[in-house]
Amino acid sequence: MPRPLKAEALYLFNYKGQTMNKKRVVITGLGVLSPVGSGVDAFWKGLVEGHSGIDKITHFDCSLFDCKIAGMLKNYDPNQHFNTKEVRHVSDFIQYAVVSAREAVKNAKLDLNSVNKERFGVVIGSGIGSLHCLETEHSRLKERGPSRISPFFIPKMIINEAAGQVSIEMGAHGLSTCVTTACATATNAIGDAMRFIQFGDADIIIAGGTEAANTELGVGGFCALKALSTKRNDDPTKASRPFDGDRDGFVMGEGAGVVVLESLEHAKKRGAPILAELVGYGRTCDAYHITAPEPTGAGAARAMKIAMDEGNIKQNEVSYINAHGTSTELNDKVETLAIKLALGDYAKKTPVSSTKSMTGHLLGAAGGVEFAACVLSIRDNIIPPTINYENHDPNCDLDYVPNQARKLNVNAVLTNSLGFGGHNATLALKKFKE
């Protein structure tokens, strides 16, 4: 198997086939909706304080479901963000993307009137799209006939409409696309956006993921797959427990994580606040199984190595890894193996945590909110904890930052996302330096 190229060996071609230097890419804005807090400040406060956003499901009757808990947005009222018509015609996962994009743009101090709109793009994905809309319109079809299907059904359901609506909202006339790679979606979206800027296809891109799959069909489907936690329906905040010896499955979450990426040149020219630099992106496929990870962790490890090599990050220079850490038996075991393969002797010396212990698993949005956590970790030199870590598993023997946040000088961070279908994605970030 060929070794990944070292960062200094990477180059790009322009449209005339001439070699060109990669543009540096920086993060200037963040927007988050999550079960532990809506808005970046509330989200980060919840993580650092180790709060769980998991609770009993109340928005539908789940009495017959094996799993009766989920991570649901707190204090989110669509009427505070959209007019009555928009609330009816724009589905939840699209709303979440728009609201988070607004926050990211505001935090980036981006004046939309001064941006070259043809150099302004959007890359936002979702793992599933609107299951709620699908459920509602299918019931309407069966009960009232095809003539009663809403004309807004398709645009409310299809995944690309999140990117489309954000592009309309922002007046972004550059590239606009979406990614769907299951639980790796948002990480791939941010990584692909990085590539577009490096190549010179855009100066600024809003990127990330969004998800609203806490519905009867969504929860029921993952229950049927035997993927969800079922042991702690009466103690929801203890259910998501990545790397813990008594874990029994993941807990679904919902929300969005969106970032503003810019070329360094563009950010400096407008005097933007630079939160961190995005320096590496690795993506691979296990090509092994539709739901189970490849047992050795080789594919995930290779994604980490590619991101580290591109970012010129040595094994001993990784300050923190935000793990995919789903709280399932196989994921946590295999991801631990992958980290050992990627970091070698330094694996056990490197702090690793899973913020899914607090947010639950946001599926296609997971990588976006976790990327935001990594940026904030670099900004504040704090590593968020893995809560509910109480029982040792001999197959999970790394430093998982148990139960309490940790102050540490954070210079270089990796964040992993591993999706059904064998999709592996890793992003590498660094503290920004001129």
Asked if 48 and 405 count as a contact pair (C-beta separation under 8 A), the reply is yes
pLDDT score of 434: 86
Answer yes or no: are the C-beta atoms of 356 and 70 closer than 8 Å.
no
What sign does the dihedral 214-219-222-223 (CA atoms) show? Answer: positive
Where does the pLDDT of residue 14 fall: very low under 50, low under 70, confident under 90, or very high at 90 and above? very low
Per DSSP, the residues of 189-215 read HHHHHHHHHHHTS-SEEEEEEEE---S
**pLDDT 10s digits, 308-346:** 999 999 999 999 999 999 999 999 999 999 999 999 999
Cα separation, 119 vs 104, whole angstroms = 18
DSSP state of 80: G
Longest dimension (CA), the chain: 64
**pLDDT average, residue stretch 146-160:** 95
The pTM of the full predicted model, rounded to 2 decimals, is 0.94
- Nearest-CA neighbor of 404 among 381, 384, 390, 382? 384
Which residues does 434 contact at the CB level (< 8 Å), separation at least 6?
Answer: none
Query: For residue 15, is pLDDT > 90?
Result: no
Residue 401: phi, psi to the nearest 5?
50, 65
DSSP H helical ranges for 23-121: 40-48, 84-89, 92-107
- The Cα 167–Cα 175 span in angstroms is 9
Interior CA angle at 412 toward 340 and 279, to 5°?
Answer: 105
Q: What is the DSSP code (8-state) at residue 81?
A: T
Residue extents of the structural domains in the chain = 25-430
pLDDT at 11 over 50: no
288: nearest Cα among 301, 278, 299: 299
Distance CA 264, CA 294 (A): 37
Beta bridge partners of 346: none
Q: What's residue 20's pLDDT?
A: 61
Q: Which of 67, 133, 178, 183 is catalytic?
A: 183
> pLDDT grade, residue 7 (50/70/90)?
very low
Q: Which residues contact 413 (CB under 8 A, 6 or more apart)?
A: 318, 319, 320, 321, 322, 374, 377, 378, 428, 429, 430
Catalytically annotated residue among 132, 266, 361, 423: 361
How many other CB atoms sit within 10 Å of the CB of residue 418? 31
With beta carbons less than 8 A apart as the criterion, state whether 403 and 356 touch. Answer: no
Per-residue pLDDT tens digits for 395-406 = 999 999 999 999
138 in active site: no
Buried b (16+ CB within 10 A) or exposed e, 2-18: eebeebeeeeeeeeeee
Q: Give dist(CA 83, CA 71) in Å, integer.
A: 26
Segment holding 374, helix H or strand E: helix 366-380
Give the residue with greater pLDDT, 8 vs 86. Answer: 86
Q: pLDDT for 337-367, tens place per residue? A: 999 999 999 999 999 999 999 999 999 999 9
What is the SS3 assignment for 148? helix
Q: List CB contacts of 331: < 8 A, sequence separation 6 or more.
A: 293, 324, 325, 418
Task: Spell out the residues 6+ positions from residue 33 whose beta carbon is closer than 8 angstroms to its own.
Answer: 39, 73, 76, 96, 99, 100, 255, 256
Residue 272 predicted with pLDDT over 80 = yes
Architecture of domain 25-430: 3-Layer(aba) Sandwich (3.40)
Query: Hey, what are 139's tokens?
Result: 């019931």
User: In the annotation, is 285 catalytic?
Assistant: no
Tokens (6 digits) for 39: 């808005």
**Which residue matches tokens 């190229």?**
5
| DSSP strand pairing (276-285 vs 204-211) | unpaired
Residue 396 annotated among the catalytic residues of the structure:
no
Taking only the tens place, the pLDDT of each residue in 182-226 is: 999 999 999 999 999 999 999 999 999 999 999 999 999 999 999
Catalytic residue, from 266, 324, 396, 423: name it: 324
Say how far apart CA 273 and CA 278 lie, in whole Å.
14
